[in-house]
Structure 1
Amino acid sequence: MASIALVTSSFWPRPGGVEEHVRRLAVELSRRGHRVAVWSVDRGDDTSGVESAVPDVRVRYLPAPLPTRSLGGVGRFATALPAAWRAWARAARDDAPDLLHVQCYGPNGPWATALAAARRRPLVVGVHGETQGDADAVFDTSALQRRALRTSLARAAAVTACSRHAAADLARFGHDPRRVVVVGNGVELDEPSGPPPPGLPQRYLLALGRVDRVKGFDLLVRAYARAAGAGDLADDLHLVCGGDGPERAAVQELAHHLGVASRTHWTGSLDRGAVVAVMDRAEALVVPSRAEAFGIVVLEAMRAGVPVLATRRGGVPELVQDGVNGLLVDPEDTDRFATALGDVTEPGSRQRLAAAGHRTAVAHTWTAVTDRVEQVYRDVLTTVETHEAAT
């Protein structure tokens, strides 16, 4: 058994695909006898209750300052550097990982890379689509972060990605996509439901995620308004948006402007039990992202027997076969998107897509995901042991 540090850009209590991926992976690896620690970037959140989210797993929240090009930014980084490095070194000493696995490259990436080099431990870099789908477009705007990712990829003993689409984008950072191991997301087939959020309509289409430009909630509202205005949707079929984020107020104003505010409902952020509950009751899940590396909510809908209408931009087509186990659409094609909203809720189509989707979900359990990750770790650690024996 190995000692593993999962070094993630974000974790509990923040909701999201990366956070759920790391949590599930940590619990499953620990169950198999590995000693697992989760090291997340300290973002100042209230982290009380984390012990119940990941039992038997040590969780640390570490400072991860990064320099900027401004003189003030360099000065602040220099001031914060010694204490931050001591925190990372203390984590390495106490948890003694045999291997560090970066999960979603952000401020965690350069720090994990530096620590792995200092401690002479192998580094695995795992990307989850952040090079394309980051709401702040950091890899397009920050030369420092692009250089840091290039360095980490060059030093990594292995690289994982949540989809072939996410892997392909690493070519622009100097890494051969053919050397990337694709490790997708998973789903717990019997995840328990909790209380649903209050005020749910009787029938609704559902969208879940962070409400930012990348996730495309504005595109969904436009298509929903077009379909409702054309009579393609039943009058009692509402739209429920689960999540929160910087674009929420703007999208709510758009719904008001388009005349569908009374049929559009906002739940705010949801815990895991509420996600299951709101999904179980949905007529269909809609994923309108402008870019989506994988889309863990797609699997959650399939598990629930809910048909999926999703973006064809990104890695979702690796999971969803258009017309077979879901429908795919370009979310910026408002007319086609509106038509597809009617198609996915047509009774015959809905039943057929839901049944095929459920069969897909069964093949994507967290057990299968962890099997794949464990094989990466075995290969990396075997290579290290062979090299040490030879020298």
Structure 2
Amino acid sequence: MNDNSYILEVSWGCPSEKYPINGLFQFDQARALHSIGEKIVFLALDMRSFRRFRKWGYNRFEKAGIPVIEYNFPWGPFSPQLKYQAQDFSFKRAIKKIEKEFGVPRCVHVHCCQQAISVTSYCEKKSIPYIVTEHITPLNEGDAIEKRKEKALKGARTVIAVSNALARDVMRNYGADSVVIPNIVDLREFKYSDTKPRQQDLGSQKINTFEFLSAASANHGKGFDILVKAYAKFIGETSAKTHLTIMGDGPELPIIQDLALELGITDNITFTGSYVRKEFADNLTRSDCFVLASRSETFGIVYIEALATGIPVIATKCGGPEDFVDSTNGILVPVDDVDALAIAMKEMLKDYESNASRFSSEHMKFVSEKCKEKFAPEAVANEIASKLI
């Protein structure tokens, strides 16, 4: 190609069959920009542990019509200083090959300041503008690394935060202004359907089981321990038939399963383990309410996917969800509050049984359409493209 009209997208990974969510949101953005006519080259600086098996070093392929360059540097329990030295090395090696094949990019779009610190000196040297999209609240990795992050953010032409809460964190931690543009959400699999029987469509007939669904990686931040405790409290206070499905794998899954056993509610919970988007979408169409008790979310894509399917949600006031969850489409509860979450689950069931408007087919179809309009790839891609040079 050797055409410097392209945009270099820099991520921490690229989704693959083995690791389908690695760099998924970043690649969704690249694909959306590509779909509105931008020339994109996607670079994944994959610094994950050697426990995530993959080919070492440089790897070149195409995905969805986009040239993808991976530079894999599997590492062990290194310090942040050594990790970022490896990342700096990987970027320098990768960019030489990229320039040889594609020329110098007109702009660099980096996902997160952790990756941006390896790109800033290159952009300064080449006089290339760069923008940074922040997806996660950065951890404090020591003064030297934090100063590099601050320099990367303050040197960017634009910093994009995916939520208002994250924008405040970026300002508080690094003194950098940002604009808020939500994540692109690939909603092709998440479609509203009115084929699932609704209470108001059945007259006096009752639905046998009210289905709650939750999905995320089973780690401390997702609050599955709070959810299981709240669900146990909830079913102890209702005679209605309910069921909770928890989708996802992770380090705390055995702990959560043991907690469900200890609370005596294993007959009411199904654990599916790991999943892909299509499986999550299919389960949403069979569910009545999505619930996730996250302790922190800078955005919260699974909530958007649920709303796009026409399912009301219960979310926590943990950052991202406050931007799009309100009384018209769900309930917000405090973080780590078992009682409040149990009450919210009871309220959802009550609304369902009383044919409240939040469960009407007409209303949830409207919620689905507005959700897709706001988070559609083309809409968000055009907002991002307006910030690119």
Q: Which of the five TM-score ranges fits, normalised by the shorter chain?
A: 0.7 to 0.9
Instruction: Select 1:6's aligned residue among 9, 17, 22.
Output: 9
Q: Taking structure 1 as reference, are residues 4 and 185 closer, same or farther at Cα in structure 2, changes over 3 Å only?
A: same
Q: AA paired with 1:172?
A: R
Residue 287 of structure 2 is aligned to residue 276 of structure 1: no
Aligned residues: 352
TM-score normalised by length of structure 1? 0.80
Identity of aligned residues (%): 26
Q: Counterpart of 2:220 in 1: which secondary structure?
A: coil
Measure how far apart 1:68 and its partner are.
Answer: 9.7
Q: Counterpart of 1:12 in 2: which secondary structure?
A: coil
Residue 384 of structure 2 is aligned to residue 373 of structure 1: yes
Distance 1:287 1:327 in 2: 11
**Contact 2:228–2:260 (CA under 8 A) maintained in structure 1:** yes
In structure 2, the partner of 1:362 is 372
**Contact 2:190–2:308 (CA under 8 A) maintained in structure 1:** no
Residue 100 of structure 2 is aligned to residue 97 of structure 1: no
Distance 1:183 1:67 in 2: 35
1:54-69 to structure 2, matched below 5 A, reads 54-63=63-72
Q: Deviations over 1:209-242 (max 9, x none)?
A: 121111111111111111011226x33x211111
Q: Counterpart of 1:282 in 2: which secondary structure?
A: coil
Q: AA paired with 2:179?
A: V
Q: AA paired with 1:110?
A: I
Q: Taking structure 1 as reference, are residues 311 and 170 closer, same or farther at Cα in structure 2, changes over 3 Å only?
A: same
**Contact 1:105–1:130 (CA under 8 A) maintained in structure 2:** no
In structure 1, the partner of 2:359 is 351
Residue 260 of structure 2 is aligned to residue 260 of structure 1: no
Q: AA paired with 2:372?
A: V
Distance 2:302 2:130 in 1: 29
Distance 1:75 1:309 in 2: 41
Residue 160 of structure 2 is aligned to residue 153 of structure 1: no
Q: Taking structure 1 as reference, are residues 97 and 292 closer, same or farther at Cα in structure 2, changes over 3 Å only?
A: same
Q: AA paired with 2:213?
A: L
Distance 2:75 2:154 in 1: 20
Residue 216 of structure 2 is aligned to residue 209 of structure 1: yes
Q: AA paired with 2:7?
A: I
Q: Taking structure 1 as reference, are residues 63 and 250 closer, same or farther at Cα in structure 2, changes over 3 Å only?
A: same
**Contact 2:135–2:162 (CA under 8 A) maintained in structure 1:** yes
Measure how far apart 1:56 and its partner are.
Answer: 0.8
In structure 2, the partner of 1:24 is 28
More helix by share: 1
Name the Cα RMSD after superposition: 3.1
TM-score normalised by length of structure 2? 0.80
Measure how far apart 1:84 and its partner are.
Answer: 5.7
**Contact 2:213–2:287 (CA under 8 A) maintained in structure 1:** yes
1:212-291 to structure 2, matched below 5 A, reads 212-231=219-238, 234-235=240-241, 237-291=242-296
Instruction: Select 1:183's aligned residue among 181, 184, 208.
Output: 181
Q: What residue ranges of structure 1 are gaps of 5+ in the alignment?
A: 132-138, 194-200, 382-391
Q: AA paired with 2:387?
A: V
Q: Deviations over 1:44-100 (max 9, x none)?
A: 5559xx978x41111122246899997xx8679778965663233323443432111
Q: Counterpart of 1:231 in 2: which secondary structure?
A: coil
Distance 1:46 1:357 in 2: 41
Distance 1:159 1:77 in 2: 21
Q: Counterpart of 1:41 in 2: which secondary structure?
A: strand
**Contact 1:63–1:87 (CA under 8 A) maintained in structure 2:** no
Q: Taking structure 1 as reference, are residues 112 and 262 closer, same or farther at Cα in structure 2, changes over 3 Å only?
A: farther
In structure 2, the partner of 1:143 is 143
